[in-house]
Copies of this chain bind each other. A is one copy, B any other.
Amino acid sequence: MRLHELTPAPNPRRVRVFLAEKGVQIPSVQVDVFKGENRTPEFLKKNPSGKIPVLELDDGTCIAESIAICRYVEALNPEPNLFGRNPVETAQIEMRNRQLEFELMGPVSVAWVNGPVIAQMAPGMFKQIPDALAAAEANIARFYQRIDNELASREFMGGDRFSVADITALCVTDFATERVGVARDPGLANLARWHAAVSARPSAKA
């Protein structure tokens, strides 16, 4: 088994943090998307989306999409449970993980492809739309405010214990802050408390 990934990218980090929480080690292969290594015919056979990460099994079966990979890893390594232990908890973790993906990771991706960092790092890689950047920044700020409100009444993103939803939130907030240049308002105290707690876990270094 091997993991095709790129260390600085946020989605591969989700899988690495998940593996660290599980205590599972999988050898990794770096795929340099800036050199187009994700667009070769060979890579597109592994994942027609041309995206990383991709988990390649020993029989050649490939699983793309971070959450699909994590769910596969959880099926083989059930503990510690990170996707939920009963129908309601599982549904709530899924709901909140998806809201983080669509309503935070989505706008952060839009801010990334339309922002100044990628424009300098890889000129012409994306046709940039300034209005889309401004809309994304407003959406990110609104989501942070909302999640800060929600974290007043629960300790973690998915509920009262650490779950895959916290891994999504950690990787996307760190990517937004450190790479995209979209900061969190430090006055959002619940969000700051949550971020400090999950950043202190050993898995956060993955």
Q: Chain A: residues with CB nearer than 8 A to chain B?
A: 48-49, 57, 61, 63-65, 67-69, 71-72, 75-76, 87-88, 90-92, 94-95, 98-99, 103, 106, 127, 129, 131-132, 135, 146, 149-150
Q: Which residue of B lies closest to A103 (CB)?
A: B49
Task: Say which residue of B64, B87, B95 sits within 8 Å of A99 (CB atoms).
Answer: B64
Chain B neighbourhood of A88, CB < 8 A:
57, 61, 63, 72
Chain B neighbourhood of A64, CB < 8 A:
95, 99
Q: Which residue of B lies closest to A72 (CB)?
A: B91
Dominant SS among interface residues on chain A: helix
On whether the beta carbons of B75 and A87 are closer than 8 Å, the reply is: yes
Min CB distance A95 to B, Å, is 4
On whether the beta carbons of B98 and A67 are closer than 8 Å, the reply is: yes
Chain B neighbourhood of A129, CB < 8 A:
129, 131-132, 135
On whether the beta carbons of A68 and B95 are closer than 8 Å, the reply is: yes
Chain B neighbourhood of A69, CB < 8 A:
91
Given contacts A63-B95, A65-B95, A129-B132, 9 further A-B contacts (CB under 8 A): A48-B146, A61-B92, A63-B91, A67-B98, A68-B94, A72-B88, A75-B87, A106-B106, A131-B131
On whether the beta carbons of B67 and A99 are closer than 8 Å, the reply is: no
On whether the beta carbons of B87 and A76 are closer than 8 Å, the reply is: yes
